[in-house]
């Protein structure tokens, strides 16, 4: 192998390593950004609904009709979010109530409109 071929292989190898490094860093950055966005969505949901204490207040706030005894009440947020770097992400909320219809728990899930995806719990707060 002559000097020119060795130099070309070295440069190509360094370029491949640089592209792989950039791809890995970009992938990690996107994942961290997406997770932070979902955490922000959960914080907004707790801020929006955390002050409501009864089933009727929650149902009125989310503009939903649910059976009076249904537990949990599951609501899909109407405003789409940009957390999924696509248009298929949505925030799903579950409200749990005690026997006196007082709010006990709010769970916030991330959901993707995909066939084989299962909702993932982002955060839960008990009241």
Q: Please write the tens of the pLDDT for every residue from 53-82.
A: 998 888 888 877 766 667 888 888 876 666
pTM more than 0.75? no
Q: Please write the tens of the pLDDT for every residue from 80-101.
A: 666 766 667 788 999 999 999 8
For 121, residues 6+ apart whose C-beta sits below 8 A from its C-beta are 107, 108, 109
For 68, residues 6+ apart whose C-beta sits below 8 A from its C-beta are 55
pLDDT (0 to 100) of residue 11: 92
Q: Please write the tens of the pLDDT for every residue from 12-25.
A: 999 999 999 999 98
| Domain residue spans of the chain | 3-126
């Amino acid at each position: 192998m002559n000097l020119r071929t060795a130099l070309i292989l070295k440069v190509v190898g360094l370029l491949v390593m640089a592209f792989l490094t950039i791809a890995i860093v970009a992938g990690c950055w996107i994942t961290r950004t997406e997770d932070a966005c979902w955490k922000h969505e959960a914080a907004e949901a707790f801020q929006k609904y955390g002050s409501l204490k009864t089933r009727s207040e929650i149902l009125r706030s989310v503009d939903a009709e649910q059976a009076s005894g249904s537990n949990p009440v599951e609501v899909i947020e109407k405003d789409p979010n940009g957390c999924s770097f696509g248009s298929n992400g949505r925030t799903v909320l579950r409200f749990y109530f005690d026997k006196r219809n007082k709010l006990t728990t709010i769970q916030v899930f991330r959901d993707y409109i995909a066939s084989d995806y299962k909702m993932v719990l982002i955060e839960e707060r008990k009241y």
